C-alpha cells in the first residue's frame, strides 16, 4: 500500500512468481491479505512471432563455398577455383545474415582463353543450405567464404512421367510438382512414423489466416500464383493450420516457430528453380549473380512492425504479403524494373546459367 496515499505505511509484501502465473489456467493468480484486502495480478503470456526470411542475390561460389573473385585467387596463389554455384544470402527483417543457399550449376575451372566451366547433369544440380553468415576477407568487405556447416540439401529425382518434377529433401520430405493446366504441389515425409500425423498440404495462393480480402486491389490470379501456403493437419488442428507462406517469385518466406527453417528454405528454392524452368523465363531472378544493395536497416522492416486496425495506408505498416513487391523490393531496383548486370568471365559464360535454368 506504500505510495497510495500521502500518509501511508507498508503493511505486507506479496510476491507473484512468473512461473506460477504462467502455469495458472486462468492467467490470474490470487493471494489473500490479512487486512481483508485482495491483491490480483493478470498477464498475457508472450507468444513468439513468426519468422520472416528473404533470399537476396550474391556472388557465384566455388565447390568449397568461396566467392569467385580475384581476391580469393590471390590468397590461394592463383590456383583456379573449381565448380560454380549460384548463391543466395538469407536475411531476416533486421538485415542479419542467417543462412547461405547454394545451387550447383557447373563443374570445372576457368582459365583465361583456355578453359571455362561446363554444366553438370540435371540430377547433380543439388541445392544446399548452410547455416551462419559469411566470413569476409579483411581487405575486401564483400568477398568471403560461405559458412562451413551444411544443414540441408535438396536433390532433383528422376520420375517415370514427363509431367512431374520431384525433389528429395535431406529432411525426409519429398516435393512432387505435377505439371499441367494447373500446377499441383504434393508433400510427403518419408521419415514420418505415423502415416497421417501432421499431414501437410501445399496450396496455391494466400490461404486461411494469410488470405487477402477479395476487394483488395492486388488480389488477382497472377498475384496469387506466386504464393504458396503450407497447411498442416494435426490432432489439435483437424481442419488445418497455416504454418508457412512463401513467395517463390520474391524468394521470401514467413513461417511459425514450429516449422523447420531449413525445410522452408529448401522448399522455396526448389519451387523457384522449378518455376523458372516451367515458365522458361527468369521469374525469380535466379540469373542475377552479384550482390544487390538492400535498403538500410530500419527504413523497411518487411511488415514486421504493424499497427492493427490502423487507418494508415502505408504498406510498411501492414502484413508484408499484402504489398509484397513494394515492401520487399531492394534499394537497387531500377525504375523500369530492369537492372543491367555485368559479370566476371571467371563466373562462367552467361549461357552456362541461362541454358541450365531455362533449358
Mean pLDDT (whole number) for 346-354: 87
> What does pTM read for this prediction?
0.81
What local confidence, expressed as pLDDT, does residue 228 receive?
94
Q: Cα(191)–Cα(236) distance, rounded to whole angstroms?
A: 21
Which pLDDT band holds residue 36 (cuts at 50, 70, 90)?
low
Ranges 24-33, 64-73, 174-183, 323-332: which has the least confidence: 24-33
3-state secondary structure of 21: helix
The tens digit of pLDDT for each residue in 265-313 reads 999 999 999 999 988 999 999 999 888 877 776 666 666 666 666 666 7
Asked if 249 contacts 20 with a C-beta cutoff of 8 angstroms, the reply is no
Share of the chain above pLDDT 70, in %: 81
What are the residue boundaries of the structural domains of the chain, listed by start?
1-46, 51-304+322-357
What local confidence, expressed as pLDDT, does residue 9 receive?
76
Spell out the residues 6+ positions from residue 322 whose beta carbon is closer than 8 angstroms to its own: 212, 216, 218, 303, 315
Query: How many C-beta neighbours within 10 Å does residue 57 have?
Result: 21
Q: Cα(40)–Cα(15) distance, rounded to whole angstroms?
A: 11
The tens digit of pLDDT for each residue in 89-132 reads 999 888 889 999 999 999 988 877 677 888 899 889 999 999 99
> Which whole-number Å values give the CA distances from 59 to 133, 177, 245, in the listed order?
14, 29, 27
SS (H, E, C) 37-66: CEEEEECCCCCCCCEEEEEEECCCECCCCE
The tens digit of pLDDT for each residue in 217-272 reads 445 677 888 999 999 988 877 788 899 999 999 999 999 999 999 999 999 999 99
3-state secondary structure of 254: strand
Question: What cell was used for 32?
Answer: 489473500
Q: Cα(286)–Cα(334) distance, rounded to whole angstroms?
A: 17
Q: Cα(251)–Cα(203) distance, rounded to whole angstroms?
A: 17
Q: Cα(82)–Cα(104) distance, rounded to whole angstroms?
A: 12
337: pLDDT strictly greater than 60: no
Q: Residue 167: which of 207, 206, 122, 119 has the closest Cα?
A: 122
Q: Cα(127)–Cα(91) distance, rounded to whole angstroms?
A: 18
Q: Cα(116)–Cα(179) distance, rounded to whole angstroms?
A: 34
Q: Residue 129: which of 155, 102, 111 has the closest Cα?
A: 102
Which pLDDT band holds residue 191 (cuts at 50, 70, 90)?
low
- H/E segment holding residue 157: strand 150-157
Amino acid at each position: 500500500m506504500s505510495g497510495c496515499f500521502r500518509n501511508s505505511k507498508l503493511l505486507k509484501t506479496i510476491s507473484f512468481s512468473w512461473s506460477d502465473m504462467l502455469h495458472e489456467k486462468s492467467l490470474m493468480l490470487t493471494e489473500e491479505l490479512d487486512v481483508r484486502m485482495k491483491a490480483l495480478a493478470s498477464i498475457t503470456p508472450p507468444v513468439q512471432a513468426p519468422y520472416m526470411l528473404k533470399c537476396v542475390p550474391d556472388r557465384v561460389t566455388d565447390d568449397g563455398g568461396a566467392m569467385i573473385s580475384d581476391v580469393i585467387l590471390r590468397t590461394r596463389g592463383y590456383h583456379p577455383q573449381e565448380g560454380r554455384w549460384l548463391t543466395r544470402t538469407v536475411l531476416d527483417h533486421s538485415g542479419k545474415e542467417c543462412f547461405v543457399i547454394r545451387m550447383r550449376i557447373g563443374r570445372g575451372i576457368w582459365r583465361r582463353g583456355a578453359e571455362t566451366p561446363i554444366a553438370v547433369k540435371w540430377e547433380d544440380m543439388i541445392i544446399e543450405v548452410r547455416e551462419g553468415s559469411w566470413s569476409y576477407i579483411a581487405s575486401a568487405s564483400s568477398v568471403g567464404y560461405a559458412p562451413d556447416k551444411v544443414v540441408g540439401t535438396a536433390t532433383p529425382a528422376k520420375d517415370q512421367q514427363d509431367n512431374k518434377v520431384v525433389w528429395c529433401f535431406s529432411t525426409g520430405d519429398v516435393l512432387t510438382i505435377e505439371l499441367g493446366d494447373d500446377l499441383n504441389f504434393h508433400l510427403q515425409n518419408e521419415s514420418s512414423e505415423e502415416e497421417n500425423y501432421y499431414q501437410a498440404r501445399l496450396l496455391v495462393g494466400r490461404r486461411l489466416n494469410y488470405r487477402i480480402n477479395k476487394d483488395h486491389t492486388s488480389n488477382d490470379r497472377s498475384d496469387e500464383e506466386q504464393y504458396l501456403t503450407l497447411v498442416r493437419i494435426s490432432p489439435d488442428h483437424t481442419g488445418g493450420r497455416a504454418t508457412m507462406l512463401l513467395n517463390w517469385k520474391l524468394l521470401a518466406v514467413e513461417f511459425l516457430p514450429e516449422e523447420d527453417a531449413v525445410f522452408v528454405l529448401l522448399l522455396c528454392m526448389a519451387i523457384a528453380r522449378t518455376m523458372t524452368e516451367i515458365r522458361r523465363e527468369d521469374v525469380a531472378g535466379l540469373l542475377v549473380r552479384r550482390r544487390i544493395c538492400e535498403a538500410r536497416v530500419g527504413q523497411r522492416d518487411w511488415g514486421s512492425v504493424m499497427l492493427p486496425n490502423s487507418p494508415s495506408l502505408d504498406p510498411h505498416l501492414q502484413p508484408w504479403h499484402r504489398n509484397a513487391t513494394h515492401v520487399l523490393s531492394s534499394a537497387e531496383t531500377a525504375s523500369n524494373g530492369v537492372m543491367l548486370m555485368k559479370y566476371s568471365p571467371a563466373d562462367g559464360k552467361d549461357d552456362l546459367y541461362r541454358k541450365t535454368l531455362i533449358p
